[in-house]
Structure 1
Amino acid sequence: MNTPVQTAATFSLDGEDVPFEPGETILQAARRAGRYIPHLCWHPDFHPQGSCRVCTVKVKGRAGSACTLQTAAGEVVESNTDELNAERKMLLQMLFVEGNHFCPSCEKSGNCLLQATAYEMNMEDVLFQEFYPRRPIDASHADVMIDFNRCILCELCVRASHDIDGKEVFAIAGHGIGTHLVVNSMSGLLVDSDMALSDRAASICPVGAILPKRRGFVIPIGVRRYDPHTAADVDTQEAS
């Protein structure tokens, strides 16, 4: 008696079938198949939360975060469309004006996911007035500094400190435009927290908000992560 061959369940992503495993999200399955969906707050080491909305896709005409939406057999998913890419570009433009993101002077230039994603979405300029918020730079710690001007509220440092380091060094406070990253110490300064350079939270930041001291430009500009490759290239290479 011949045993029937079981075929992997698939869903359609921009007209192409993508196989998935039970429990995977749309973003996880897409990455494993070498398909790029732009994202900022998602990281493979942490539970997704869909805060940045850059990975928004459409399923049955309804919008949702690809990092949180579960896959389903036969589902039709839209991602790489003019409408969704325009919305992503607008979200990126808002992030750039809500903080002080001056790429040429930033140590993370060429290794910044925000910058690389903006290039991927063909963002050449911003449509909104710059906020130029007055946010501090915390250089109190001996080994790590925080430039709050560059924080994009992805919460990766919050999750890393809680889930991996077990320290609760960071938290998000405030509402609306006043939402901001805070340090969990009596003074509010990093020096009075139990942060260490070896913590996962010290290296997880996708932009230039949390940086190690005395290690600037160790990797020269021109050979950094996104200098020779696009965000899509890096994302799909790391997934394979």
Structure 2
Amino acid sequence: MKPKILLVEDDANLVELLRYNLESAGFDVVQTGDGEEALMLADEEKPDLVILDWMIANLSGIEVCRRLRRAPETASLPIVMLTARADEADRIRGLETGADDYLTKPFSPRELIARIHAVLRRLRPALAGGALDYAGISMDTSAHRVTRDGQAVPLGPTEFRLLRHFLEHPGRVFSREQLLDAVWGRDVYVEQRTVDVHIRRLRKAINGEGEGASALPDVIRTVRSAGYALDREAH
């Protein structure tokens, strides 16, 4: 599953250059040059990182950054800010507003990608590959193995992908449509109720086979009219 980047930049030539390099580096890219649309996309697309230009339409990058940090759903979303402002005071302002890194123009795409990887390793180590851990659940993505509290958890391919997506974004609520896009892919037609079927299978696998009740606490939270989340407080 490719990490998703929200690219907020209104320079068409720079967008084309960055999109090419980001996609070549293994990222999915969603792009806008509008600050208000960036906030909407951050909520709808659930990106793993935002590349945010300071000077964009409708809302400045600083204001977008500030609002992302205020919203609980995006408060921990990694943000790399781009700007032509090289003054120390501007860099400090960007970082104090909530940016995790700051890159001044002009810059090389290779440096930006290196900065992105560094931020993801620091803030989203799950996306660096290897092992994912949350609430006693451990996934070895290389060996394709899952355990909970040390006990093996057998999963089908779809349940494995579904759990991996949850483990990469613990605590975040995903709608059925978002899970379909992330796990099945946008080019595949699957009915939304299929998500419910696989959620039930995943629950049964990771919660155990208790008599009448799960042997282990349920860590998949159902949010009415919203979707599902992997949450240690679900039960």
* TM-score, normalised relative to structure 1: 0.28
Higher relative contact order structure (alpha carbons within 8 Å, sequence separation ≥ 6): 1
Higher helix share: 2
